[in-house]
Chains A and B, each alone.
Chain A
């Protein structure tokens, strides 16, 4: 079953506002990845985090890996309509399987 839990499941955001989605695991992760799936599309790789406490930025997106490597967050600033979609985190523990969270589906009101 799923080894990573994502919250919230749905995020409805006013355009221009910020929001954060979280990914949590009960066990230590070797790495964590984030993907975005636009409505009707397929998941697209965004970023990978490997080191404890790592922070990476992609324009308005900030990704963080927790110090204990058990959680991660994606923070989006100044949300735009192009941010609509479902954001998944994915992680591998001690094997080669890559398990995905249930995703956070983001909708934006103009």
Chain B
């Protein structure tokens, strides 16, 4: 969706190398998320952040790391410890409707292939 920029769109890396995926949003959203999608599969939550300098592990955080030093930026590092890193990575930012209600908007995604 407009306002969320992921880069690069396609990335090839050798096995054993760390790689960082960029995610920037200009929507002034407090919450940001990283999801992983494997071919023909659903979305699995890697990490999420509700405010600057704070983030929580999602369901599949092992082998990944994030930082949230600025409200608009939430980069994801895929480390060499991630056993099957080849996937489609989706960044999202969220707007609060009050309480726990969130609607999130996705970037266009980054395809990571590890060879």
Contact = CB atoms under 8 A, between A and B. Distances in A.
A43 B41 contact: no
Given A92-B101, A96-B102, A98-B33, A44 B1 contact: yes
B48 interface: yes
Contacts, number: 68
A88 B40 CA distance: 12
Contacts of B33: 98
Given A31-B101, A42-B108, A45-B103, A96 B48 contact: yes
Interface stretch (B13-21, B72-80, B92-100): B92-100
A96 B50 contact: yes
A30 B1 contact: no
B58 interface: yes
Contacts of A41: 108
Given A42-B90, A44-B1, A97-B58, A92 B102 contact: yes
Interface residues of B, number: 29
Nearest to B59: A1
Contacts of B106: 42-44
A50 interface: yes
A44 B105 CA distance: 7
Interface stretch (A11-19, A70-78, A100-108): A100-108
Contacts of A42: 1, 90, 106-109
Interface in B34-65: 35, 40-45, 48, 50, 56, 58-59
Nearest to B35: A100
Interface of B: 1, 31, 33, 35, 40-45, 48, 50, 56, 58-59, 90, 94, 97, 99-109
The 6 closest A-B pairs by CB, nearest first: A102-B42, A100-B43, A42-B106, A30-B100, A42-B109, A31-B101
